[in-house]
Structure 1
């Protein structure tokens, strides 16, 4: 018997499917699944974080509070402290909750609330405010974030996401630092509207009207147009502005029956 070794035909036992395309589809599906899982975990973490007692939040933030330097302008700091305490009373915080105020003498147009009832006002933003009423709206807004537990909710979501990403792709960074505890916490649109409404209520209780709230947002819009969104104007990364939000200030005031006009409280002479 004669044995032969025939040539294998071209494309013999070769699939017509594109395996690279299959691999890409598989990767895309896995990425989509991971994204959905992380989002669900983030939402759950935000909800659970709201249940954490405020005193525990204070303990969590206490080790990091030394990052806030004491201001050299003690006169301005003392004035701001008085305004903060007045707005704090008008904000009607829950029992056991308190505000820890910090004035930073940096030329940054920003103010923010973070964990443990800490709120920060920068010199750069203060210098753009025209009167105490505009400043009070800024302070009332940040206190409202604290009152509604927005920082701990934002941190809960951020920690879950950072831990999930570290588990998937590796990494050894402290998830608390990744979450923005040492810098800023980003609040979503619904949080901002909730804070605006609570701030207007506090403004009305303190001054008998909400004059200054709308002009404060007008000034922020001017800053945004002048500088855009950059490192000096980090305010807009955490407190995004848009026409609807600014218009909503007036709408809330009208619906609640809070006077849009009233006597303006000027700054003390050393701030002029």
Structure 2
């Protein structure tokens, strides 16, 4: 299976700061003997896969995250989704895809939000993200990769505790986060169904995992999950059965989008 490569900031092997707009492959650092940028920059932003508003990955705003706990934690959830999906992909033998999944949130989320994290007193965790990606790309033993992924997920959980204060109740925050993850998973599935690429499917697989975890968060906030939300998550699990993309996607995208819309409506009523 092919995965579209995206240019991202360094993975611990090298951090290319203040670089020229174009870098030659011969001047780039290497990974397993091959130029790193040649391996990882075979495509640009804006193609298939859901970026730029097409699928479920768009909408992480530093401005919103600085004042809204939902936007702040949603950015962390999107990051966590990449690590959940990447680890499962690694376990399935998709080591290159795993390394890239671990790397994407560095440039796509972390770098933009770093000033917000700093203002909120979040302990920096870019180094942990870089280490996870480096280990996966170098096909390190699974226990090492798992340990690195856990370090990132622990850092994300700690960062969530530093979210800015808002006017929404804890239950409302959890409901909005759950609705967001369900929506992202459904929209990413529509993107995956429009082609045969692996990456958009794997992105959505991560959102499905993150959505299920937010369902537990709602329960901890003292609210029972609406039936529509549990039904949407069940359909997400059916749509994304494994980290490996099935030859034929098992759910109609429109069915998943309808289920997600119903879940969002009922979740919006939680107070």
- The normalised TM-score by structure 1 is 0.32
- The normalised TM-score by structure 2 is 0.32
Greater radius of gyration (CA): 1
